[in-house]
Structure 1
Amino acid sequence: MRLPNWLAQHLAALRAVLVFTVLLGIAYPLALVAAGRIPGLDGRADGSLISAAGQTVGSALIGQSFTDADGNPVPRYFQSRPSAAGAGYDPTATAASNLGPESVVDTHATDPQESARGLLSQVCARSLAIGERDGVDGRRPYCTADGVGAVLAVFRADGLTGPATRVVSVNQVAPATPFLTVYEGVAVELARPGHDYVAEGGLVTPIRGDAPAEPAVPADAVTASGSGLDPHISPAYAQIQVARVARERGVDPARVRHLVAEHTSGRGLGFVGEPAVHVLDLNLALDQRFPAS
Structure 2
Amino acid sequence: MRLPSWLAQHLAGPRVLVVMTVVLGLAYPLLMVAVARIPGLSGKADGSIVSQDGRPVGSRLIGQSFTDADGNPLKQYFQSRPSAAGNGYDPTATSASNLGPESVVDKPDKPSLLTLVCGRSKAIGELEGVDGSRPYCTAGGVGAVLAVFHQNGSTGPVTRAVSLNEACPATPFIQSYQGVTVECAKPGEDYAMGVVTPIRGTAPDKPAIPADAVTASGSGLDPHISVAYARLQVNRVAAARHLTAADVNRLVDEHTTGRALGFMGEPAVNVLELNRALDRT
Q: TM class, shorter-chain normalised?
A: over 0.9
> Does 2:165 match 1:158?
no
- Asked if residue 263 in structure 1 is aligned to residue 263 in structure 2, the reply is no
Matches within 5 A, 1:194-205: 194-197=188-191, 199=192, 201-205=193-197
The answer on whether the counterparts of 2:223 and 2:272 sit within 8 Å (CA) in structure 1 is yes
CA distance in 2, matches of 1:229, 1:43: 18
Which structure 1 segments of 5+ residues have no match? 109-114
Structure 2 unaligned residues grouped into runs of 5+: none
Match of 1:125 in 2: 119
Tell me which residue corresponds to 2:174. Answer: 180
Where 2:150 maps in the other structure, the secondary structure is: strand
Following TM superposition, by how much is the alpha carbon of 1:9 offset from its aligned partner in structure 2, in angstroms?
4.4
Equivalent residue for 1:279, pick from 247, 271, 280: 271
Identity %: 69
Corresponding residue for 2:15?
Answer: 15
Query: Shift of the alpha carbon at 1:186?
Result: 1.1
Q: Residues 204 and 86 of structure 1: is their aligned pair in 2 closer, same or farther, counting only changes over 3 Å?
A: same
Q: Which segments of structure 1 move beyond 6 Å, counting only runs of 4 or more?
A: none
Aligned to 1:193: 187
Code of the residue aligned with 1:177 in structure 2: it is T
Secondary structure of the structure 2 residue equivalent to 1:161 = coil
Name the counterpart of 2:73. Answer: 73
Q: 1-side partners of 2:174 and 2:160: how far apart?
A: 13
In the alignment of these two chains, the number of paired residues is 281
Residue equivalent to 1:112: none
> What is the CA deviation profile of residues 169-202 of structure 1, one whole-angstrom value per residue up to 9, with x for unaligned ones?
11101332111111111111000112231x2x11
1:25 corresponds in structure 2 to 25
- Name 1:83's counterpart in structure 2: 83
Per the TM alignment, residue 4 of structure 1 is displaced from its structure 2 partner at its CA by 6.1
User: CA separation in 2, counterparts of 1:152 and 1:210?
Assistant: 16
How far does the alpha carbon of each residue in 1:205-229 deviate from its partner, in whole angstroms, 9 at most, with x for none? 1111111111000100000111111
Q: Could you say what secondary structure the match of 2:157 adopts?
A: strand
Determine the structure 2 residue equivalent to 1:46: 46
Once residues 20 and 33 of structure 2 are traced to their aligned partners in structure 1, the CA distance between those partners, rounded to angstroms, is: 18
Per-residue CA distance 1:236-280 (angstroms, 9 max, x = gap): 111111111111111112111111111111112322110101111
Are 2:235 and 1:243 aligned? Answer: yes
Distance of 2:137 and 2:154 partners within structure 1: 24
Following the alignment from structure 1 to structure 2, what is the Cα–Cα distance between the partners of residues 254 and 196? Answer: 55
CA distance in 2 between counterparts of 1:15 and 1:275 reads 53
Letter in 1 for 2:94: T
Q: Secondary structure at the match of 1:239?
A: helix
Query: Aligned residue for 1:147?
Result: 141
Q: Give distance in 2, aligned partners of 1:266 and 1:3.
A: 66
2:224 alignment counterpart: 232
Matched, 1:105 2:97: no
Aligned-residue CA RMSD (Å): 1.6
Q: TM-score, normalised by structure 2?
A: 0.95
